[in-house]
Amino acid sequence: MDFRSVIDNSFSAAVGVDAVIYALAAIGLNLQFGYTGLLNFGQVGFAAVGAYGIAISVTYLGWGLWAGIAVGLVAAVVLALLLGLPTLRLRADYLAIVTIAAGEIIRLVARSVTFNEYTGGSAGLSQFAGDFYDLNPYGSGRQTLGPIQLSSNDLWLVTVGWMVVLLLTLFVWTLMRSPWGRVLKAIREDEDAVRSLGKNAYWYKMQSLILGGMMGAIAGFAFAIAKTSVQPDNYSTDFTFFAYAALILGGAATTWGPVIGAVIFWFLLAFTDSLLRQLVSNDLLPEAIISGTQVGQVRFMLVGVGLVALMVFRPQGIFGNKRELALDE
């Protein structure tokens, strides 16, 4: 049994492309849910409009990648306004229902034959990430940094991605220590009290939804560039729930919780996947218990059981503060 390869695969996943993407998405959810108390179950919708903003701008309009990024951010702002204007004056569950529906609507519209000329239908769009990879300083081939092994393109994306994660984390940290951030926390605890003090809670919640949605769009940029294509079926509800898993694992309403949660989440998924495959291939687990084709499903079951145990014994997450955020209230 090659335990070294299990460790190498786990560390590569912990700092790899997926960890970057879901750290970005979880930072946005942390601002919305952790600090403001907004239940956004449609972060994948923001990621999708960001990804399609890039893809359509480059492949259909003939613009550059950086103009496409601007289009994606504007599209995320528009989506947040469309979702927030009719729902943020109502109870939190209305926003949850609308956002999860919006994510599915965006996916179905993108794969519709009606908009095939713009979105590429179910086949999606490609050949729009060249401007980004042209800046790659790592050359070609596979790069090895201790136990971490990544392709040169992935290493370039990871380098830029973790820099963006750091900048957004510091941005959120600064915001939460400002008067604006303290109002968000107050809204999460008692919105009526905030209104009684003369604050426009509706507008503060809208700003939080917009900023968190833009961070979701940035995650969509990374997702699209990593795959060098945009296909609608990649933007399913799993995206949002993985981001929530990372957020809750690390600890909501904490500065580094979503980032560390994403790292741990993908480390555990890669570790259980690699370990189970090693056990199956070396006949240490009989076929009657698990086969090689079942490993992918079983790893999610095992990690899911771990998350349930975490919610039972430490509901605030690994690094969360129970006084800061009680998820059972």
Neighbouring-strand partners of residue 145? 148
pLDDT in tens, 215-241: 999 999 999 999 999 999 999 999 999
Point out the residues of the chain with pLDDT beneath 70: 1, 323-329
Q: Which amino acid, residue 244?
A: Y
Torsion on CA atoms 113, 114, 120, 121, rounded to nearest 10: -30
Give the chain's largest Cα–Cα span.
67
**Calpha distance 276→285 (Å, rounded):** 8
Neighbouring-strand partners of residue 125? 230
Main-chain dihedrals φ then ψ at residue 125, nearest 5 degrees? -125, 155
Give me the pLDDT at residue 329, please: 43
Give me the pLDDT at residue 324, please: 67
Which residue segments constitute the domains of the chain, with CATH numbers given?
A: 3-313 (1.10.3470)
The residues, any chain, with a CB within 8 Å of residue 181's CB and separated by 6 or more, are 35, 175
**Calpha distance 83→216 (Å, rounded):** 14
The tokens for 75 are 């599209």
Q: Which amino acid, residue 256?
A: W
